[in-house]
Amino acid sequence: MASFNRFFSSYKKVINKKFFIIYFIYFSFFLANGPLETSIPLLFEHYGFHGNIYGAFLSTNSIINIILPSFIAYMAHRFSSMLFGMIAMLIGFFGAILAGCLPSCIYTVYPACLMIMISRTVFNYSYGNAINYSIESDSRGKYFAIRDLFLFGSISIGMFLGSIITSKTNVSVLFFGFSFIFFIPMFLIKRTDKNIAKVQTKEETISRQSNGDDKKDKNQFLSVIKNKYFWGFLLVGFGSTIYTTSLFFLPLLGTSIGISVPKILSMFGAITLVNSIVAILIGNVSDFINRKWLFVFDNAFDIIPALIFAFTTNTYLFIAGIVCTMIKDAFAPSSFAYLYDCFQDKKGIVVQGFLSSIDNALSFVAPLLIGILWNISKKWVFLLGASGCLFSSIIAIITLPDVISKK
């Protein structure tokens, strides 16, 4: 009982009225966005588009993300993260409703689904980053764990609802129905802007007071390029690109071995829920130990499910790979916290956007490669992914710093 009380007390800093509205924003946004992103390959398959088309779609999204994260991070930093957060919701709404209503033509479905993907990028690099940087380092792991409980919990609920909808209708109806959920987080963000403005980060306050300084902005980008940790994260991200991109193809792998769409959505929903609960325990531990080695484990463990998926021929192996992915993904909040710990300066928001943009610039070719390989040999997709994860783990060990939060 005493241990339980200590565990609960350690989360008090991130469980209060100020944070609950933030958690519900994440809950409502990813209730819509999460299941829709997962269902995009199923929508493509429903309309008769092949794996190479989906690979080209993911590549297009990566090309867009070469510029978009830096642009959104910079604009949100200079103006208002809340405004761009609300814009993200509108983009998601229009993308989802168009994907569900427009004729089954690649020239209409393709851009509509891109809008759904873009909405998450805009949200994460505006409102999301503003909130993340308002959290103290010694509570960041716990915050990400609680946030991800709401985030992944909502995705799980959305997946279960999606499985019910698709079992009675089809996947296009799922997109139309879920489009209206985007209005809920938009309303909550507007309310946050009025009632709890104190979560505005110091970076935004400084930006408004100074009214911008172009010379300092240029110097900042130069300092990013000179930062060895920046290059370390960049190489880690590049090495893991093949496997992380191949995860978008898992629904297609499931259908290729005879698993129905409703069952796939239910399976992903159950795994996502368990994952978020386990992440709370790991988030608590990560605030008191060296996060670097959790980050290394997060990358290295991907080798196991990658090899399982490479040799998957039946439902049992597929489920085993998904379970391994679930175990590993519980470390994601701690890895995310480690990334922020390594860039604690006041301009860190732009650093994150710049890092993401460069990473996408180097890795946009991966979806095209996977799309081509997918039609030739699914096994080689995941074998290449396993090799990339091994490379990323070695780079992380060599280049990245030890980070232990203050107790």
Looking at residue 248, which CATH number applies to its domain?
1.20.1250.20
Q: Above 80 in pLDDT, residue 103?
A: no
The average pLDDT across 347-365 equals 67
Q: Above 60 in pLDDT, residue 207?
A: no
| Residue owning tokens 């490479």 | 310
| Residue owning tokens 């716990």 | 142
Contacts from 207-212 at CB under 8 Å and sequence distance 24+? 207/77, 207/78, 212/78
Q: Would 52 be classed as within a structural domain?
A: yes
Most trustworthy range by pLDDT among 101-105, 161-165, 173-177: 173-177
Q: Are 233 and 355 in contact (CB under 8 A)?
A: yes
Question: In this predicted model, which residue has the larger pLDDT, 4 or 297?
Answer: 297
Q: Would 101 be classed as within a structural domain?
A: yes
Neighbours of 136 (CB within 10 A): 11
The average pLDDT across 217-246 equals 76
Q: Are 396 and 296 in contact (CB under 8 A)?
A: yes
Q: In this prediction, what percent of the chain has a pLDDT beyond 90?
A: 18
Cross-strand bridge partners of residue 368? none
Confidence of residue 330 (pLDDT cuts 50, 70, 90): low
Q: How many domains does the chain have?
A: 1
Confidence of residue 277 (pLDDT cuts 50, 70, 90): low
| Residue owning tokens 């819509």 | 32
Q: Are 80 and 290 in contact (CB under 8 A)?
A: no
> Rounded CA gap, 58 and 214, in Å?
33
Q: Are 392 and 239 in contact (CB under 8 A)?
A: yes
Structure tokens at 242: 């093949």
Q: Are 403 and 290 in contact (CB under 8 A)?
A: yes
* CA 133 to the chain's CA centroid: 17
Element (H, E) at 343: none
**Which pLDDT score is estimated for 63?**
84
| Residue owning tokens 């089809």 | 170
CB burial class (10 A; 0-12, 13-18, 19+) of residue 3? exposed
Confidence of residue 208 (pLDDT cuts 50, 70, 90): very low
CB burial class (10 A; 0-12, 13-18, 19+) of residue 211? exposed
Q: Would 388 be classed as within a structural domain?
A: yes
Q: Above 80 in pLDDT, residue 10?
A: no
Q: Are 253 and 267 in contact (CB under 8 A)?
A: no
Q: Would 164 be classed as within a structural domain?
A: yes
The average pLDDT across 167-177 equals 87
**Which pLDDT score is estimated for 347?**
53
User: Helix, strand, coil: what percent of the chain each, to 5?
Assistant: 85, 0, 15
List C-alpha distances in Å: 81 to 131, 161, 190, 208, 209.
9, 31, 11, 12, 15
Question: In this predicted model, which residue has the larger pLDDT, 41 or 350?
Answer: 41
The average pLDDT across 207-229 equals 59
The average pLDDT across 6-35 equals 80
| pLDDT, tens only, 176-193 | 999 999 999 999 988 775
The average pLDDT across 220-229 equals 69
Which residues have C-beta within 8 Å of that of residue 27, sequence separation ≥ 6? 150, 151, 153, 154
**Which pLDDT score is estimated for 108?**
86
| Residue owning tokens 């924003």 | 25
**Which pLDDT score is estimated for 96?**
93
The average pLDDT across 144-152 equals 81
Q: Would 273 be classed as within a structural domain?
A: yes
Question: In this predicted model, which residue has the larger pLDDT, 58 or 96?
Answer: 96
Q: Above 60 in pLDDT, residue 398?
A: yes
Element (H, E) at 191: helix 183-195
Q: Above 80 in pLDDT, residue 306?
A: yes
Residue 391: which domain range?
Answer: 17-195+212-399
Q: Would 341 be classed as within a structural domain?
A: yes
Largest alpha-carbon pair distance within the chain?
A: 60
Most trustworthy range by pLDDT among 116-120, 242-246, 354-358: 116-120
Neighbours of 244 (CB within 10 A): 17
The average pLDDT across 353-364 equals 69
**Which pLDDT score is estimated for 36?**
93
**pTM for this model (two decimals):** 0.69
Cross-strand bridge partners of residue 290? 404
> Rounded CA gap, 19 and 121, in Å?
22
Give the ranges where 102-227 is alpha helix by DSSP (H). 106-123, 129-132, 137-168, 171-178, 183-195, 202-210, 214-226
Q: Would 151 be classed as within a structural domain?
A: yes
Cross-strand bridge partners of residue 404? 290
Q: Would 47 be classed as within a structural domain?
A: yes
Confidence of residue 295 (pLDDT cuts 50, 70, 90): confident
**Which pLDDT score is estimated for 283?**
58
**Which pLDDT score is estimated for 151?**
85
Structure tokens at 11: 């989360």
